[in-house]
Structure 1
C-alpha cells in the first residue's frame, strides 16, 4: 500500500507509515518502529 500526504499528527512532514492500530498515516518522527504503531497508539500501549 502506498502512503501519501502529510502526517496526521504533526501535519508538516510527509507520511511514510500507516498505523495498524488506528489507520493514521504518520511521518518517521511519529512512528514507533519497535512497536510498529504511531506515536499516539504507542503511548496508549504504555498505559
Structure 2
C-alpha cells in the first residue's frame, strides 16, 4: 500500500492536472472500498 502511495505521488510530478484528478479519484475509491470491506468483515 505504501509503495502504491509513493509511486502515485512520484508519478504526479510528471503528469498533467487531469491525470492528478484521475489518480486522486482512484485513490479515494480504493480507500472507500477498503473501508466497506472492513465493515463487512466486522459484521461477521
Calculate the TM-score normalised by the size of structure 1: 0.27
**Structure 2 length-normalised TM:** 0.28
Q: In proportion to residue count, which structure has more helix? A: 2
Q: Which has the larger radius of gyration?
A: 2
- Structure richer in strand, relative to its length: 1
Larger relative contact order (Cα-Cα within 8 Å, sequence gap ≥ 6): 1
